[in-house]
Amino acid sequence: MLISNLEVVPGRRVKEHLGLVQGSTVRAKHVGRDIAASFKNVFGGELQGYTELLNDSREEAMARMQAQAQAIGANAILNVRFSTSSVAQGASELFVYGTAVELA
């Protein structure tokens, strides 16, 4: 499965357009991490726990999008976009979407 945020793949032709596919996940970190993060809010700097959490959720969202694309017989997802939003305090949603296509 080829995933790219370009609109066309150099050197290959889109044979069929299969529509939008998406994957999303909502995740939170356990309280210990939140407390550690609130200490970091005093000193400043990177919140590694949250970076890790968002990376994991991004991978999961991409896996879900890929599964959806596979189910409709695509072999590539083009023009992929990411979006993050915080749904509740301490939880964030990761949303990935793109166009499923069949490449020749």
Note the residues at the interface with other proteins (CB under 8 A): 2-12, 31, 34-35, 37-38, 40-48, 50-51, 54-55, 58, 80-86, 89-90, 92
**In the complex, minimum distance from the CB of residue 16 to other proteins, in angstroms, rounded to a whole number:** 19
Q: Which is nearer to other proteins, 3 or 14 (CB)?
A: 3
What is the torsional sign of CA 51, 53, 57, 59? positive
**Alpha carbon 54 to chain centroid distance?**
9
The least distance separating other proteins from the CB of residue 6, rounded to whole angstroms, comes to: 5
Q: Which is nearer to other proteins, 19 or 61 (CB)?
A: 61
Strands in 14-28's sheet, in edge-to-edge order, are 2-3, 76-88, 91-103, 14-28
